[in-house]
């Protein structure tokens, strides 16, 4: 009898295993898995397939690529990062007068010594490099985009000798390139904006030893974002509160989506469309973005943020809200008149003049857990359906963008 019961159990087990295999073959896990929570820390790599076809590197490109593996500096001064630290990524091009202002503002941020600052360069410029090397207030790591058009003066992704220019007729001129939807050929200086952002995102999340296994939020700022002293503590509070106060929020922002606004000053948290000044999200959200690599890389728009607003975020299905405080903790500045007006509260740098006011409430954490959340719906801005401003029609740029998406996927999964 015992033998018969044993054989019966074996047969039942085999039948169950067979049924499981059949179900999985009919419905792969990737197809039936539920949408992960934005707080889940989900870390599965989406498969994009295809080869990683990157341009041949110059000596400078190879040297910078190698330097990207160097450990952070100032570890002798700050040997330990806080357990709950939020890594800060500052991405820059070549505006040293702006970078000095941002670095000085970061040096005054409460809690900055607890975290890692990663500075991502689009191109190599001695003055920019020198400014970053002078940072002594936290651990700091520099990375340089090795395929920046600024590193290739006479070949793609820079300017190739036979490239079409402006509105050249490729067939008649016997030149290379695909025009955008408005008939204009690529400009390396313009396409570098989107290339750098996408290379940086893939590298920071998936290519650096320092961020491997980091499932928490990472904060992204630019060289023309002034950061207030309370920014880091406010962001930590927002990240802690987000799962309870706004579980469907994808991100936490330091500033309103309206770059001219200093906030409402209310006693409430704000949920609104995701802005591009001082934005942070976790690895789960990055995986959702990475799954839309083809949409990002093939949309004819040279601005990364407009591409995200009009193609990537709408593809998530739900509105992409971010959580922020009622007062800004970061301000976008730049040449007056470019992004901001000339009102008395506007903030800008022009000809070296600097006029961003820091008030007492900008120096202390002013995000409170007992506040309710005020939701802004139907805000103005770029939406799904916008066709883009162009500048991104050349198939070489699109393929390079896709190659950035596959760089570390290939390394992690063994894909060719």
Per-10-residue mean pLDDT of the chain, 416 residues long, equals: 52 53 38 43 48 86 96 97 96 94 97 98 96 98 97 93 92 92 95 97 97 93 96 98 96 94 94 95 96 97 96 92 97 59 45 77 94 90 90 96 89 38
Tokens of 113: 């010594």
What is the model's pLDDT at position 25? Answer: 43
Nearest to 108 by CA among 362, 399, 326: 362
What is the model's pLDDT at position 315? Answer: 93
Tokens of 12: 């039942």
What whole-number distance in Å separates Cα of residue 291 and Cα of residue 285? 10
Tokens of 112: 């900055």
Is 224 marked as binding a ligand?
A: yes
Q: What is the DSSP letter of 107?
A: H
What whole-number distance in Å separates Cα of residue 256 and Cα of residue 382? 15
* Contact yes or no for 150/122 (Cβ under 8 A): yes
What whole-number distance in Å separates Cα of residue 283 and Cα of residue 39? 9
* Contact yes or no for 355/333 (Cβ under 8 A): no
Q: What is the DSSP letter of 379?
A: -
* Contact yes or no for 204/281 (Cβ under 8 A): no
What is the model's pLDDT at position 209? Answer: 96
Please give the span between the terminal C-alpha atoms of the chain, in angstroms, as a whole number: 55
131 contacts: CB under 8 Å, gap ≥ 6: 96, 99, 100, 103
Reduced DSSP (H G I as helix, E B as strand, rest coil) percent helix, strand, coil of the chain, to 5: 35, 15, 50
Distance of CA 8 to CAs 1, 2, 17, 47, 187, Å?
11, 10, 14, 41, 71
Query: Which H or E run contains 98?
Result: helix 96-107
Tokens of 154: 């006479």
* Contact yes or no for 324/258 (Cβ under 8 A): no
What is the model's pLDDT at position 47? Answer: 46
What whole-number distance in Å separates Cα of residue 219 and Cα of residue 87? 6
* Contact yes or no for 266/324 (Cβ under 8 A): no
Q: What is the DSSP letter of 108?
A: T
Tokens of 40: 């889940």
Phi/psi at 21 (nearest 5 deg)? -60, -40
> For residue 279, what are the β-bridge partners?
220, 253
Is 122 marked as binding a ligand?
A: yes
What whole-number distance in Å separates Cα of residue 255 and Cα of residue 77? 31
What is the model's pLDDT at position 352? Answer: 54
Query: Which H or E run contains 67?
Result: helix 59-67
What whole-number distance in Å separates Cα of residue 295 and Cα of residue 281? 20
């Amino acid at each position: 009898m015992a033998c018969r019961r044993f054989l019966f159990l074996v047969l039942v087990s085999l039948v169950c295993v067979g049924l499981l295999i059949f179900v999985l073959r009919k419905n792969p896990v990737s197809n039936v898995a539920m949408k992960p929570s934005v707080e889940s820390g989900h870390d599965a790599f989406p498969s994009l397939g295809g080869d990683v076809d990157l341009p041949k590197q110059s000596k400078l490109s190879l040297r910078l690529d190698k330097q990207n593996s160097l450990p952070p500096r100032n570890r002798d001064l700050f040997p330990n990062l806080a357990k709950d630290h939020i890594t800060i990524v500052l991405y820059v091009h070549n505006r040293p007068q702006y970078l000095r202002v941002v670095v000085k503002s970061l040096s005054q941020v409460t809690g900055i010594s607890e975290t890692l600052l990663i500075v991502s360069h689009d191109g190599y410029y001695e003055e920019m490099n020198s400014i970053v090397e002078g940072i002594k207030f936290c651990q700091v790591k520099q990375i340089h985009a090795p395929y920046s058009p600024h590193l290739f003066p006479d070949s793609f992704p820079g300017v190739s000798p036979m490239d079409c220019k402006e509105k050249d007729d490729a067939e008649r001129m016997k030149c290379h390139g695909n025009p955008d939807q408005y008939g204009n050929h690529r400009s390396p200086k313009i396409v570098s904006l989107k290339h750098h952002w996408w290379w940086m995102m893939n590298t920071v999340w998936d290519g650096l030893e320092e961020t491997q296994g980091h499932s928490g939020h990472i904060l992204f700022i630019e060289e023309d974002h002034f950061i207030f002293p309370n920014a880091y503590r406010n962001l930590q509070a927002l990240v802690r509160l987000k799962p309870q106060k706004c579980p469907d929020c994808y991100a936490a922002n330091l500033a309103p989506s309206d770059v001219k606004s200093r906030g409402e000053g209310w006693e409430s948290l704000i949920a609104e469309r995701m802005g591009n000044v001082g934005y942070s999200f976790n690895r789960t959200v990055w995986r959702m973005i990475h799954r839309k690599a083809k949409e990002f890389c093939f949309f004819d728009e040279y601005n990364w943020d407009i591409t995200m607003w009009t193609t990537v975020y709408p593809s998530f299905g739900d509105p992409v809200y971010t959580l922020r405080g009622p007062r800004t903790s970061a301000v976008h500045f730049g040449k007056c008149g470019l992004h901001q007006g000339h009102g008395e509260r506007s903030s800008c740098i022009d000809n070296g003049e600097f006029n961003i006011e820091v008030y007492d409430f900008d120096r202390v954490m002013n995000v409170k857990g007992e506040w309710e959340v005020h939701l802004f719906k139907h805000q103005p801005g770029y939406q799904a359906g916008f066709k883009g401003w162009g500048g991104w029609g050349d198939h070489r740029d699109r393929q390079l963008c896709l190659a950035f998406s596959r760089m570390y996927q290939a390394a992690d999964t063994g894909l060719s």
